[in-house]
Chain A
């Protein structure tokens, strides 16, 4: 969508998602993350560093919350659903939560950007256009998941001393200070998959586009794919869990099913569905 389009269709654009979205979507990239399979091992996060030219900022800046981990694995000790942790020990382990941009279809970050540097693509992605970004940080302040990362400094100057810079992925930019960045669902890999399919004269198939995190996940807890492809693995998982896009509250025929979206009640319509962690109780 061009900026012109954004401006001309502003109100549709904000309201559209509940009627299936303003766009004529070509794809709707979504994820399913099984928290019972996720072991919290960090492989996804490091794969993201490798794929997306994420800067290493060092201890001091990490402590100030300036880490650039587009995919961070959160860990909680309490389990509110199965009743507290009053015991003497952490007897059911920890709760791990891989958090990356939720690519909300009604993203709260998008309308507050003064220059439309963040917007929704016809692929259902929440895009961040680095060269358009002026660094107002409104988007980050408006993100309920805290998944946008700001370049407060020129991190790249210290992050890749030669020859580490030779590892940088040429398919996406190295961001300089003053720019907001976040998980893109590995848009460069999606782009490559689409280009390859086009070159081979076929449609994009399930499994052509895989994000770096989903690819490397040792337990394959992350599944990525196109929701518009009814045969894709991910859309089958969503369907099986009776979770639908475009809803503020899911009405499930079987309320015991594990699928849920985080902070769904905020009406952000996130594109990542999580599946409950399971424990013997």
Chain B
């Protein structure tokens, strides 16, 4: 069924984006429940199709998924001018043919009934539909008068759009491009850069015999989940590696672990040093790979101290250490719950030190591949960027702010007090597809084409070997003639700002084509410009021989930052990220709303996770509403009680609780835990410490049935999901015995 051999050239000729030869083909063979009445349904022919386009037969075209920054390649099945289904691009080095739930559901963003279709400008307090000319003119005049006091606040970006945005920003004298992602790996990037000389080193889970994850949910939300899922599949075959997860509440990765250990957020570093201590004191590894200062620090984290601080027993530490040693090479990872703390940098430092101690560097941790064309390289997101933007906005640094592909009014922690600060920006220009909180607070709204209607390129934030520049090409003609692609909007703005070098490009398509022609010969591999352009679109990406960096190990201070004690707010809040709702951007996709959460099986609504012992103390049971209060505010939410959460933690996953964002996000509101989060940051990297907020939990007395997939949570002794020990597995299928 895959169409990778379809010649992709001249696609636009009949898809209409190229100008002449436009076609509409709605109504043809569209499933309805109306049947069999002659003269009722319409059939509309193509105007001038390509030879290979045959009504009734799907054609697959390559593009790139934009639902998260990991940049999976997709094939879209196009029939009668509509894109019907997405599948992973089997050739893509990122995802090799597979796709997660968010990628599958991204079509519902494209076809979303709540898309913004017309430009809007705030007039007399209300957003009013205007023409593109009027909106652009207003933006140009304000930017012209701003004297360079312009900021860009965007989600993760890369490729030619990012390049064009830089050109525009430079032209208007602005310099501030803030790249903000709520779900990021920014603390680790900062620490990795310092310790390894590589911000995002390459991880090889498939080569590891044991993986210890401190909250790194690499199967769902961390860095490049589809890429790591494939590595995970290899990790689990043959000799079957051991997965250990240490985290405050169970993530998808934790649910797949052989050994799941609860930890309070921020104490992961203590546990990591405790494991290091066991490894050294039991002479399992040679400590001399670490500097003396580091060894001195580690020696302070003896089993008793670690157990006292974290509640993790000595036997657990020994078991972890033994797995890591015996199944060497291993890999230790730090994710959001470990990083996103006031002492986050120190936690990552301890995790990296553990990797160094175990000899994993160079084996399961490789040097980063840097994308050779600097102007296209990924701008990875961080939350420090949002804090910096908020600070600048508050100080009146910005007359104009462009906001693209991010919804900070929803996702900013309450402690940042963004609403008031953003209001100080003279003109807020939202480049957006949906009426989300931030877009509706903007002064100018420019409706964008969906990723499947627009041109672009992306370099994945995590670049696998063989990885390169992903091509994003339209899978169909825009649903609305009044929306524009991001590149086209930027081009119009940049030309108006006097970027004369851009005048030769009629549209972003021309800019992109020229950009491909201008690529270095090493990337083009001897192809002619036309051939290279055609091949790249057909394949969906450009493989690049990336420049291989090297890892320089440097270990600094490993001492952990102690948790702030506070008796008013005794519990930790875990604003967990889940694939599905992700950072809230997917709350308008009904397929994902209806998917039961993998762990709790809750759909369409928010929940709070509590440990049975905590629930018993509070006197609550599943379905009861609890009040979760922090210094920032409070929310009320139903409880799910299970043993996959630390007793001192209440976990409320993020993604729901939108005030705006269309019908599906607001149908069942849910709650937004980010509105309880204070303004604490990781001192070293400046990243917002999303897991440092302390809360108080109380009973409300209200109760209701939990919106949860029904059925027993126990197998009642039946062989439904049967489990065998790894020893049996290795005996029968281990090593080279495996068929699958």
Instruction: Say yes or no for B548: interface residue by CB 8 A criterion.
Output: no
CB distance from A150 to the nearest CB of B (A): 15
Instruction: Say yes or no for A39: interface residue by CB 8 A criterion.
Output: yes
B728 touches A43 (CB 8 A): no
Residues of chain A within 8 A of B568, CB atoms compared = none
> Known: A62-B604, A76-B714, A280-B258. Is A43-B740 also a contact (CB below 8 A)?
no
Residues of chain A within 8 A of B711, CB atoms compared = 74, 146
Cβ-defined partner of B33 (8 Å) among A45, A49, A169, A176: A176
B1 touches A161 (CB 8 A): no
A280 touches B105 (CB 8 A): no
Give CA–CA (A84, B2) in the complex, Å.
Answer: 45
B599 touches A94 (CB 8 A): yes
A258 touches B732 (CB 8 A): yes
Instruction: Say yes or no for B363: interface residue by CB 8 A criterion.
Output: no
Q: Which of B692-740 contact A (CB under 8 A)?
A: 705, 707-715, 717-729, 731-733, 739-740
Give CA–CA (A74, B708) in the complex, Å.
Answer: 11
Give CA–CA (A192, B603) in the complex, Å.
Answer: 34
Residues of chain A within 8 A of B584, CB atoms compared = none
Residues of chain B within 8 A of A228, CB atoms compared = none
Residues of chain B within 8 A of A73, CB atoms compared = 596, 598
Residues of chain A within 8 A of B323, CB atoms compared = 280
Give CA–CA (A202, B26) in the complex, Å.
Answer: 34
Q: Which of A14-73 contact B (CB under 8 A)?
A: 32, 34-37, 39-43, 45-47, 49-51, 53, 56-59, 62-63, 65, 67, 69, 72-73
CB distance from B202 to the nearest CB of A (A): 19
CB distance from B721 to the nearest CB of A (A): 4
B732 touches A40 (CB 8 A): no
Cβ-defined partner of B85 (8 Å) among A89, A159, A161, A169: A169
> Known: A95-B723, A156-B33, A221-B233. Is A192-B604 also a contact (CB below 8 A)?
no
A258 touches B601 (CB 8 A): no
B31 touches A174 (CB 8 A): yes
A216 touches B82 (CB 8 A): no
Instruction: Say yes or no for B295: interface residue by CB 8 A criterion.
Output: no
Instruction: Say yes or no for B550: interface residue by CB 8 A criterion.
Output: no
Q: In chain A, what residue has the closest Cβ to B590?
A: A56
B739 touches A236 (CB 8 A): yes
Interface-central residue, A53, A80, A170, A280, by most chain B CB under 10 Å: A280
Give CA–CA (A188, B724) in the complex, Å.
Answer: 36
Q: In chain A, what residue has the closest Cβ to B598?
A: A40
Instruction: Say yes or no for B558: interface residue by CB 8 A criterion.
Output: no
Give CA–CA (A168, B32) in the complex, Å.
Answer: 9
A50 touches B715 (CB 8 A): no
Segment from B156-164, B173-181, B219-227, B279-287 that makes contact with A: B219-227
Residues of chain B within 8 A of A237, CB atoms compared = 739-740
Residues of chain B within 8 A of A1, CB atoms compared = none
Give CA–CA (A62, B642) in the complex, Å.
Answer: 22
CB distance from B88 to the nearest CB of A (A): 7
B713 touches A47 (CB 8 A): no
A72 touches B259 (CB 8 A): no
> Known: A74-B720, A278-B725. Is A90-B99 also a contact (CB below 8 A)?
no
B101 touches A45 (CB 8 A): yes
Give CA–CA (A58, B593) in the complex, Å.
Answer: 8
Instruction: Say yes or no for A91: interface residue by CB 8 A criterion.
Output: yes
Q: Which of A65-118 contact B (CB under 8 A)?
A: 65, 67, 69, 72-82, 85, 87-97
A260 touches B719 (CB 8 A): yes
A169 touches B101 (CB 8 A): no
A39 touches B262 (CB 8 A): no
CB distance from A224 to the nearest CB of B (A): 12
> Known: A59-B668, A170-B29, A281-B726. Is A262-B252 also a contact (CB below 8 A)?
no
Instruction: Say yes or no for A142: interface residue by CB 8 A criterion.
Output: no
A41 touches B604 (CB 8 A): no
CB distance from B604 to the nearest CB of A (A): 4
B604 touches A58 (CB 8 A): yes
> Known: A43-B98, A174-B33. Is A91-B598 also a contact (CB below 8 A)?
no
A218 touches B605 (CB 8 A): no
Contact bitstring A167-189, B, C-beta under 8 A = 1, else 0: 11110111010000000000001
Q: In chain A, what residue has the closest Cβ to B668?
A: A59
> Known: A50-B107, A166-B82, A279-B723. Is A77-B591 also a contact (CB below 8 A)?
no
CB distance from A168 to the nearest CB of B (A): 5
Instruction: Say yes or no for A277: interface residue by CB 8 A criterion.
Output: yes
Q: In chain B, what residue has the closest Cβ to A32?
A: B740
Cβ-defined partner of B718 (8 Å) among A40, A167, A263, A279: A263
CB distance from B87 to the nearest CB of A (A): 6
Give CA–CA (A85, B259) in the complex, Å.
Answer: 13
Give CA–CA (A214, B93) in the complex, Å.
Answer: 19
Interchain pairs with CB closer than 8 A, number: 314
B723 touches A278 (CB 8 A): yes
Sorting the interface of chain B by its residue count into under 10, 10 to 19, 20 to 34 or 35 or more gives 35 or more
A41 touches B710 (CB 8 A): no
Give CA–CA (A161, B717) in the complex, Å.
Answer: 44
Segment from B108-116, B380-388, B395-403 that makes contact with A: B108-116
Contact bitstring A212-246, B, C-beta under 8 A = 1, else 0: 10011111110100000000010011001000000
Instruction: Say yes or no for B594: interface residue by CB 8 A criterion.
Output: yes
Instruction: Say yes or no for A12: interface residue by CB 8 A criterion.
Output: no
Give CA–CA (A280, B30) in the complex, Å.
Answer: 51
Instruction: Say yes or no for A134: interface residue by CB 8 A criterion.
Output: no
CB distance from B648 to the nearest CB of A (A): 13
CB distance from A170 to the nearest CB of B (A): 4
Instruction: Say yes or no for B100: interface residue by CB 8 A criterion.
Output: yes
> Known: A56-B591, A88-B643. Is A42-B580 also a contact (CB below 8 A)?
yes
B740 touches A256 (CB 8 A): no
Q: Which of A194-218 contact B (CB under 8 A)?
A: 208, 210, 212, 215-218
> Known: A56-B591, A96-B598, A237-B739. Is A47-B717 also a contact (CB below 8 A)?
no
Cβ-defined partner of A76 (8 Å) among B245, B259, B721, B724: B721
Q: Which of B584-615 contact A (CB under 8 A)?
A: 590-596, 598-599, 601, 603-605, 613
B236 touches A36 (CB 8 A): yes
Residues of chain A within 8 A of B8, CB atoms compared = none
Interface-central residue, A47, A57, A78, A173, by most chain B CB under 10 Å: A47
Residues of chain A within 8 A of B547, CB atoms compared = none
Cβ-defined partner of B728 (8 Å) among A35, A193, A256, A260: A256
Q: Which of B559-590 contact A (CB under 8 A)?
A: 579-580, 590
Instruction: Say yes or no for B136: interface residue by CB 8 A criterion.
Output: no
Give CA–CA (A62, B105) in the complex, Å.
Answer: 19
CB distance from A120 to the nearest CB of B (A): 25
Residues of chain B within 8 A of A90, CB atoms compared = 250, 260, 642-644
> Known: A77-B643, A162-B113. Is A62-B603 also a contact (CB below 8 A)?
yes
Instruction: Say yes or no for A9: interface residue by CB 8 A criterion.
Output: no
CB distance from A97 to the nearest CB of B (A): 5
Q: Which of B459-506 contact A (CB under 8 A)?
A: 479
Give CA–CA (A56, B713) in the complex, Å.
Answer: 24
Give CA–CA (A156, B226) in the complex, Å.
Answer: 32
Instruction: Say yes or no for A141: interface residue by CB 8 A criterion.
Output: no
Known: A43-B99, A50-B591. 4 other contacts (CB 8 A): A46-B595, A59-B707, A166-B30, A277-B723
Q: Which 7 A-B pairs have the closest CB atoms?
A: A218-B229, A59-B604, A95-B721, A219-B233, A46-B101, A280-B258, A90-B644
A–B pairs, 16, beta carbons within 8 Å: A39-B253, A41-B220, A53-B31, A63-B708, A72-B709, A76-B714, A93-B256, A167-B108, A193-B1, A216-B98, A219-B98, A240-B739, A274-B721, A276-B722, A279-B258, A279-B724
